[in-house]
Amino acid sequence: QSTLKDRLAELIPAEIEHVKQIRAQHGKKSFGPVLVDQLYGHVSPSSRLSSMRGLPALIWDGSVLDAEEGIRFRGKSIPECQELLPKAPGGSEPLPEGLFWLLVTGEIPTQEQVTGLSRDWAARAAIPEFVEEILDRCPPTLHPMSQFSLAVTALNHDSAFAKAYQDGISKKDYWGPTFEDAMDLIAKLPNIAGRIYRNVFGDGKLPAIDLHKDYSHNLATLFGFGENEAFVELLRLYITIHSDHEGGNVSAHTGKLVGSALSDPFLAFGASLNGLAGPLHGLANQEVLVWLRKMQEKIGENASDVAVKEYVWSTLKGGQVVPGYGHAVLRKTDPRYVAQREFALKHLPHDPLFRLVGQVYNIVPNILLEAGKAKNPWPNVDAHSGVLLTHYGLTQMQFYTVLFGVSRAFGVAAQLIWDRALGAPLERPKSYSSAAIEKIFRDH
Ligand code: AMX
């Protein structure tokens, strides 16, 4: 029995009461009107309100995103998490185990509690043989994200929740097997991601998980980078900052939506991954590196600012987006970008690609402002992750979104547990046809 589960069992009754109180006090208060424009999205450059943008619609406890300040995990900013969460011996980045504990409980765990999670996840890490076979049969030309989603969906074969539901579990107990599935899901992702990496880019042979090492160390080992302590530290930071970005982004929302049908966490998170695989969302971290490499090919490695500017303009004039810039909610430089930039300044200040990323940072926002369309000209998380991975030799860009997916499981899993604990109902927003909208407002 995990101590995290014990702590959850203590917290749940109080949270059920807390939600009751909030609803009694504020349940009938309004967030304001909904405009017809908000249903449509793209309208006109001057009155553009994209699909459901800003529409208050979901409860998501793990994190809240402020447009100016960026993400806070259970109220804690990224620098605060870096300071407060337990580290590995000799390390200085937070262990994602601690971040998961924080997302689930709202509390900073002890070193011992975090070690307990590392052990628990290592013990649960093995994946069924048939899932290994599914992955081994995938052609290496199938995008790693599609392979990832296939494998995660197939884990539903052994879902504790699906089984308990078939056996007639009572609603109030849903969270227990959901918790077990959430833990299994996170624990098994390294073996899935590692297998995809080795199948597509290596010889298909995979080392074993070390039961005494932390999650990121094991993940790095599966990719073949376990001996490189700086890379392991990077993964600890990477997973922590990519874990959660409140509930409305495509991957988080999809997981919650599918989970609301009482599909188990494997089915729900498989769906999240399919959303994360889109170029406007998680695929952007692959796209950034592709774009930077193309730029280097075109204008050389030590290009002048003028040449970089011209290249950025040519991207925009070609009707393409500058990947890694802009955000649906954020209106400042993403603190996840800042955390990665600080890591680079500490560990790889002279890396030529890092210099280019910095040069692009000095140039792109002004150009996006001048072009006048993007509401946020500043870089997001994806503008920086690829250069760090590349520096340590993980150069296969098509794989980057898989790492994002491993991280995103932490946030989605934490919320799925709470959704089942608090009895979140089936999600069912109302949709309208254009004819129905005309009819409603005919006389107004
Ligand atoms: N480059 C060029 N144009 C951009 C742009 C960018 N980086 N960001 C926004 N724009 C354009 C939009 O395409 C839109 O043009 P349109 O009116 O002709 O359709 C206009 O500016 C207004 O868009 P917006 O309201 O500022 O953005 P949005 O909320 O609709 O979309 C996002 C947000 C992230 C999809 C968009 O900024 C984008 O495409 N960025 C590049 C891709 C990227 O980095 N995605 C990763 C986001 C983070 C993540 O999820 N991992």
Residue 378 lies in a domain: yes
Please report whether residue 26 resides in a domain. no
Q: Are residues 123 and 267 in the same domain?
A: yes
Asked if 343 and 388 count as a contact pair (C-beta separation under 8 A), the reply is: yes
Q: In the chain, how many H helices and how many E strands?
A: 20, 3
Domains identified in the chain, total number: 2
Q: Is residue 47 part of a domain?
A: no
Q: What is the DSSP letter of 315?
A: H
Residue 143 Cα to ligand 1 midpoint, Å, equals 23
- pLDDT by residue (tens digit) across 303-343? 999 999 999 999 999 999 999 999 989 999 999 999 999 99
Q: Average pLDDT in the 262-289 region?
A: 95
Per DSSP bridges, beta strands 70-73 and 63-66 are antiparallel
Residue-number span of the structural domain to which 312 is assigned:
284-391
The per-residue pLDDT for range 54-95, each reduced to its tens digit, is 889 999 999 999 999 999 999 999 999 999 999 999 999 999
Q: Are residues 166 and 310 in the same domain?
A: no
- Confirm or reject: Cβ of 7 under 6 Å from ligand 1: no
325 CB within 6 A, ligand 1: yes
My answer on whether 292 and 159 are in the same domain is no
pLDDT band at 44 (very low <50, low <70, confident <90, very high): very low
CATH number reported for the structural domain that contains residue 302 in this entry? 1.10.230.10
Query: Do 222 and 290 fall within a single domain?
Result: no
Closest atom of ligand 1 to 334 CA is 48
Read off the DSSP letter of residue 325.
B
* Domain-embedded: residue 204: yes
CA 41 / ligand 1 centre spacing (Å): 13
Domain identity same for 296 and 246: no
**In a shared domain, residues 357 and 413:** no
Query: HEC states along 169-214?
Result: CCHHHCHHHHHHHHHHHHHHHHHHHHHHHHHHHCCCCCCCCCCCCC
Cα separation, 253 vs 70, in Å, equals 18
281 carries an active-site annotation:
yes
For atom 32 of ligand 1, which residue has the closest CA? 327
Question: Which protein residue's CA is at the shortest distance from atom 49 of ligand 1?
Answer: 281
Residue 245 resides in a domain: yes
Residue identifier of the C-alpha nearest atom 38 of ligand 1: 326
- The answer to whether residue 57 sits within a structural domain is no
Q: Tell me, what's the ipTM?
A: 0.98
Query: How far are the Cα atoms of 82, 416, 420 from residue 262, in angstroms, in the given order?
Result: 35, 10, 8
pLDDT at 43 > cutoff 80:
no
